[in-house]
Chains A and B, each alone.
Chain A
Amino acid sequence: MSYASRNKLESARTQNEEDVDVVGRSTRHRRHWWQTKNKRNKRPIPNYNSMAVDSVRKNCLQLTKGFNEDDAPINKKLPKELILRIFSYLDVVSLCRCAQVSKSWNVLALDGSNWQRIDLFDFQKDVEGPIIENISRRCGGFLRQLSLRGCQSIADGSMKTLAQLCPNVEDLNLNGCKKITDTTCQSLSKHCSKLQKLNLDSCSAITDLSLKSLSDGCPQLSHINISWCSNITESGVEALARGCPKLKSFVSKGCRQITSRAVICLARFCENLEIINLLGCSNIRDEAVQALAEKCSKVHYLCLSGCSKLTDTSLIALAQQCPFLSTLEVAGCSQFTDAAFQALARSCRYLEKMDLDECVLITDATLIHLSMGCPRIEYLTLSHCELITDEGIRHLSMSPCAAENLTVLELDNCPLVTDASLEHLTSCHNLQRVELYDCQLITRVGIRRLRSHLPNIKVHAYFAPVTPPPSAGGSRQRYCRCCAIL
């Protein structure tokens, strides 16, 4: 790798030469090289006439020749390849610092090979269009992974440049870049055929056109996230499913226009799906989940929260076809009953995380089945399951999962749960957090007893703290110092 890049370096140096000075100056002011040029120009320009500037620059060049470049001991000892290799382990900030050391380091630090994976989340407010264009110009084909999460000022123009200059991008995160429209996806599909992961979370201007163009140009796509893009309908998803058969992960939270038909298409064409999140797609019906279960038997993560039209049929289909399910989130699916969970508990033995928030019909029977059938449960949410009683908790606490794996148990708004449940839970040695908000039969005494058995546990309930809160303005001395002395 280093040899290959060395050739690139040699050629790159001549064209970067002029940037060096500018970059060095700018970074001194805690700006990174990818920041816009016009900001730099705002600095006051010294009042020399051009003749004087020229002579100063000449002197500087003569002076620095003696110290710079290859004469520095570290540069003598280490070949460029090694320095480059060392740089490849640094993060964005350290690289930018190294770029300020000398001209040769500047070239090495800003070499595209060090910038294969970039995450600009920490600089989201500063990242603007010209920065992205600079990055894409520098990195070119090296860029594999770019996260622009939360960079709201990014628009289509700069993304187009990026797609043109960096054809090898594999993983692109545009979470929350709200200005982005279908144009970006069209240029991505045109130039970046290697794209594997694309996150378009909260890019609300995205429509079906994007998905259609992606399905044309990015056949390698394996992960896609179109959460909260509310314009997306079944036709877009259908096109995507046809064009990208390698899809492993499909996340579409809050896309209300996605229907059963869209999900059936996904199931038919993308048999490798493992992660599916359909939170809040409230139009989905049983036939969609049945198709999913039938075709995609590798699914291990499934979120159907808020799909309130689903009934037991869905869960039973899942239980029969998807034995590897490890995470199941069905918050707000209020039609599920004990029978479905019984079937599920019998066949899905690898379940680790279950969110049963607001499955109001389930009773202690579900807990009994889960405790017998699923020994790996770590995380269990039973919020708003109002029929759960101490008896269910007792069975849960006696099960094999409770003793070893159970770490989080959410029981908020279960009005029948009493202190006796907490007594049972003392046998869950791994338990780290229990939510008990609004369980009005729980008392402070019960919580104290639980704490005495499991000292590291976090119990969340609406109880005022026993210790008074620290005074808001910081403690002030009651007497002045001289009074204290007296």
Chain B
Amino acid sequence: MEEDNAMYEKILIDIKNLIRSDPNLKDFCIVPINENKNKSPVLYEEHNLGLELWCVKYVYAYLYKQLFKLRRLLSKNRLIQQKSEEIDKYLISALLIHPEVATFWNMRRELVEYGVINLDIELLLTKLVLSNKSKSNEAFAYRKWIVSKLMKGIYKHDVVSTLALLNQEFTVTEMAAQNSPNNYHAWNHRMWCLQSAFVKHDFADTPMYLNLVFEQLDFSIRWIQSHISEHAGFHYRQYLLKCVLNSCCSVSERTGKIRCLLETFAHIKACDDEGFVQQLLGRSSTCVNRSMVNFILLLLEDLFYFMDQLNELFPGHEAVWYHRRFLIFHILQIAHEYHNVVWFRNVNVSGLMLNSNDNIINVDSGLSDTKYPKLPKYELDAVESSYLYKILLKFEFEHIQGNSLSKCIDAQRELARRHEKWLHFILCFNKSNSFI
């Protein structure tokens, strides 16, 4: 028994020393080796850490026993220095093996509070835990706690350190999101970090803010292109797009590029961004916010450019169509805000009911048009009479038609049909309105 304990202690010390000595550790995993040949079960290669499977159950049982023996003393802060360091050693391995135990994380929090361990090691440890179990909520919660502690230590005007910290978090969350699909916790953590950096420095009106958001937008499009069916990536993009609304800055070299791109789609020419939006939406009754202009441009870029691309490359993915809905909805919403009018969406519920029973709608033949009850004519408001609205209608119906052709795959056709329904009943788009 005593000999076994000595072995466990040696394994634990090895792990702790490796973590202490190599700040560039990348990865931890439990290596499925059941053979036991008097060889150290702690593996270390090219900044990766591994633990052989055969020892895991014994080591964990030992850790568990030791930790719960010392827990009470720790919570009362009655431990002498040496014992605290011992606990640190136990906790490192316990959390690497089994990060779901919130008690262990809490013990670690206590150690941080008592000043036994410093925060950099904690970032490394949570990173290793996340490399093994990417969806561990406890690990993310702990990391949030550490990051908020680190942020508190940064001076208010020291944006550079915050950006460095953010970058570190971005790499970790990207790794976690890579490792397991639909990693809600990782994306949430990413957004939380961005949000808390914004709150901390309150730098929404500096170009740095928009640059950061644009950088992330670029990242997200890259991510989406390689993870097309994950809605998490789209959700992050939507969050970023909304972030643009907070800043009244102008980043003309970036938005100018977008404008040039959009001008070819819309067949209009303008000398600056505001002028372009004015041409699209008409003259606003109130003064126009720069943030709105940025937002509209970005939404339109997504809709006309990226969505088209994605749709062609990856047909039949629901997430793409959902993002499309988000874009159209927000374009209309912001257009109403632009004109300062209330958006009445007279959703035709009865029509919806009627149609949901009716399961055969042939879009190509245009039969469905006759089936819908005629909507009462009402006067077009400023948005509906704008040039943008017309383009949108035209573009969307062309898009649906393009994707309902018989050469498309079934899933894509079905999605196109659903999209048309959504347009029709939620946004009240009518084909008859598209008279261009």
- A interface residues with partner B (beta carbon < 8 Å): 121-122, 124-125, 150, 152, 176, 436-440, 442-443, 458-465, 469-473
Query: Given A437-B10, A459-B3, A469-B61: A464 and B55 within 8 A (CB)?
Result: yes
Report chain B residues within 8 Å CB of A152.
81
Q: Shortest beta-carbon distance, B95 to chain A, in Å?
A: 15
B61 touches A438 (CB 8 A): no
Is A458 in contact with B2, judged by CB distance below 8 angstroms?
yes
| A471 CB contacts on chain B under 8 angstroms | 61
Report yes or no: A440 in contact with B39, Cβ–Cβ below 8 A.
yes
Question: Could you write out 10 A-B pairs with CB less than 8 Å apart?
Answer: A122-B80, A152-B81, A437-B40, A438-B38, A459-B3, A460-B10, A462-B41, A465-B4, A472-B61, A473-B64
**What separation, in Å, do the CA atoms of A349 and B330 have in the docked complex?**
90
Asked if A464 and B77 make an inter-chain contact with CB atoms under 8 angstroms apart, the answer reads: no
- Given A122, A442, A460, which contacts B6 in the complex, CB threshold below 8 Å? A460
**B40 and A438 contact, CB distance less than 8 A:** yes
Question: Which residues of the partner chain B approach A125 to less than 8 Å between Cβ atoms?
Answer: 77-80
Residue contact A440 to B81, C-beta cutoff 8 Å: no
Q: State whether the Cβ of B395 lies closer than 8 Å to any Cβ in chain A.
A: no
A464–B54 Cα distance when bound, in Å, is: 7
B347 within 8 A of A: no
Task: From the candidates B3, B62, B77, name the one contacting A460 in the complex (CB within 8 A).
Answer: B3
Query: A122 — which chain B residues lie within 8 A by C-beta?
Result: 80
Taken residue by residue from 352 to 393, chain B's Cβ proximity to chain A (1 for < 8 Å, 0 otherwise) reads as 000000000000000000000000000000000000000000
A462:B40 contact, CB within 8 angstroms: yes
Residue of A150, A460, A461, A470 near B61 (CB, 8 A) is A470
* Chain A at the B interface: SS class: loop
Chain A residue at minimal CB-CB distance from B42 = A462
CA distance A22 to B61 in the complex (A): 49
User: Measured between C-beta atoms, what is the minimum distance from B131 to chain A in Å?
Assistant: 25
Kindly report which residue of chain B lies nearest to residue A446, judged by CB atoms: B38
| Secondary structure call for the B interface | helix
Residue of A125, A440, A442, A461 with most partner-chain B CB within 10 A? A125
Alpha-carbon separation in the docked complex, A125 to B73 (Å): 12
Given contacts A125-B77, A465-B58, A470-B61, whether A439 and B38 have CB atoms under 8 Å apart is: yes
Lowest 3 A-B CB distances belong to which pairs? Answer: A469-B61, A472-B64, A465-B4
> Cβ of B81 and Cβ of A150 under 8 Å apart?
yes
Given the known A-B contacts A436-B38, A438-B40, A440-B37, are A458 and B57 also in contact in the complex, defined by CB atoms under 8 Å? no
Instruction: For B1, give the chain A residue with the smallest CB separation.
Output: A465
Q: Does B214 contact A (CB under 8 A)?
A: no
Mark interface residues in B48-82 (1 if CB within 8 Å of A CB, else 0): 00000011011011101100000000000111111
- Count of A-B contacts with CB under 8 A? 66
Is B57 touching A469 in the complex (CB atoms < 8 A)? yes
Complex Cα gap A442–B78 (Å): 43
Specify which of A460, A463, A472 is in contact with B60 (CB 8 Å cutoff): A472
A124-B80, A176-B81, A469-B58 known; A462 vs B3 contact (CB < 8 Å): no
Select which of A124, A458, A469 is within 8 A of B62 by beta carbon: A469
By a CB distance below 8 angstroms, the chain B residues around A463 are 7, 36, 38
In the assembly, what is the distance between CA of A440 and CA of B10, in Å? 17
A440 to chain B minimum Cβ distance, whole angstroms, is: 6
Q: Which residues of B line the A interface, CB within 8 A?
A: 1-4, 6-7, 10, 36-41, 54-55, 57-58, 60-62, 64-65, 77-82
Known: A124-B81, A150-B80, A440-B39. A464 touches B6 (CB 8 A): no
CB of B61 within 8 A of CB of A462, answer: no
In the bound complex, how far is the Cα of B291 from the Cα of A174, in angstroms?
A: 62
Beyond A121-B80, A462-B41, 15 additional pairs, beta carbon < 8 A: A122-B80, A152-B81, A176-B81, A437-B38, A437-B40, A440-B39, A460-B3, A460-B10, A462-B39, A462-B40, A464-B58, A469-B58, A469-B61, A472-B60, A472-B64
Write out the residue numbers on chain B whose beta carbons fall within 8 Å of the beta carbon of A458: 2-3, 6
Contact B57 A442 (CB under 8 A): no
What's the least CB distance linking B139 to chain A, in Å?
Answer: 21
* B1 partner residues in chain A, CB cutoff 8 A: 465
| Residue with the greatest number of chain B CB neighbours at <10 A, chosen from A121, A436, A439, A461 | A461
CA–CA, A462 to B55, complex, Å? 9
Contact in complex: A472, B65 (CB < 8 Å): yes
* Min CB–CB distance B410 → chain A (angstroms): 52
- Give the Cβ gap from B393 to chain A, nearest Cβ, in Å: 64
CA of A458 to CA of B9, assembled, Å: 15
Chain A residue with minimal CB distance to B2?
A458
Complex CA gap A442/B39 in Å reads: 10
The CB with the most chain B CB atoms within 10 A, among A121, A436, A469, A473, is that of A469
Q: Min CB distance, B14 to chain A, in Å?
A: 10
Across the interface, which residues of A come within 8 angstroms of B77, CB to CB?
A: 125
- In the complex, the answer to whether A462 meets B38 with C-beta atoms within 8 Å is yes
- Whether A462 contacts B65 in the complex (CB less than 8 A), given A436-B38, A438-B39, comes out as no
A121 / chain B contacts, CB cutoff of 8 Å = 80
Contacts of B7 in A (CB 8 A): 437, 460-463
A462 (CB) vs chain B CBs: closest residue:
B38
Q: How far is the CA of A465 from the CA of B5 in the complex (A)?
A: 10
Given contact pairs A459-B3, A469-B57, A472-B65, A464 touches B81 in the complex (Cβ within 8 A): no
Tell me which of A440, A459, A464, A472 has the highest count of chain B C-beta atoms within 10 A of its own C-beta: A464
A171 and B228 alpha carbons, distance in the complex (Å): 72
* Chain A residues in 8 Å Cβ range of B4: 465
- Which residue, B37, B54, B65, has most C-beta atoms of chain A within 10 A? B37
Residues of chain B with a CB closer than 8 A to A124's CB: 80-81
B369 to chain A, nearest CB (A): 67
A440, B81: Cα distance in complex, Å: 36
Please, which residue of chain A has its CB at the minimum distance from the CB of B115? A152
Complex: how many Å from CA A278 to CA B341?
82
Output the least CB separation between B358 and chain A (Å).
58
Q: In the complex the two chains form, what is the Cα distance from A150 to B58 in whole Å?
A: 33
Contact residues in A for B36 (Cβ distance below 8 Å): 462-464
Question: Which single residue of chain A is at the shortest CB-CB distance from B65?
Answer: A472
Contacts of A437 in B (CB 8 A): 7, 10, 38, 40
A186 to B6, alpha carbons, bound, how many Å?
44
Which residues from chain B contact A440 at a C-beta distance below 8 Å?
A: 37-39
- The answer for the CA separation of A155 and B2 in the assembled complex, in Å, is 40
Q: Given the complex of chains A and B, what is the CA–CA distance between A104 and B40 in angstroms? A: 63
Kindly identify which residue among A442, A469, A470, A473 contacts B38, using a CB–CB cutoff of 8 Å.
A442
What A residues does B54 contact at CB under 8 A? 464
Interfacial chain A residues near B38, Cβ < 8 Å: 436-440, 442-443, 461-463
Chain B, Cβ-Cβ closest to A458: B3
Residues of A within 8 A of B41 (CB): 462
Determine the chain A residues whose CB is within 8 A of the CB of B40 once the complex forms: 437-438, 462
Residues of A within 8 A of B10 (CB): 437, 460
List chain A residues, Cβ under 8 A from B6.
458, 460
Least CB distance from B388 to A in Å reads: 64
Q: Give the residue name and chain of the B residue nearest to A472 (CB).
A: B64
A465 to B57, CA, bound (A): 11
B81 to chain A, nearest CB (A): 5
A469 proximity list for chain B (CB < 8 A): 57-58, 61-62
Inter-chain contacts of B78 with A (CB < 8 A): 125
Smallest CB-CB separation from B63: which chain A residue?
A: A472
Q: Report the separation of the CA atoms of residues A42 and B198 in the bound assembly, to the nearest whole angstrom.
A: 42
Nearest B-chain residue to A447, judged by Cβ: B38
User: What residues of A have a CB within 8 angstroms of the CB of B57 in the complex?
Assistant: 469
How far apart are B228's CB and chain A's nearest CB, in angstroms? Answer: 43
- A443–B41 Cα gap in the complex (Å)? 16
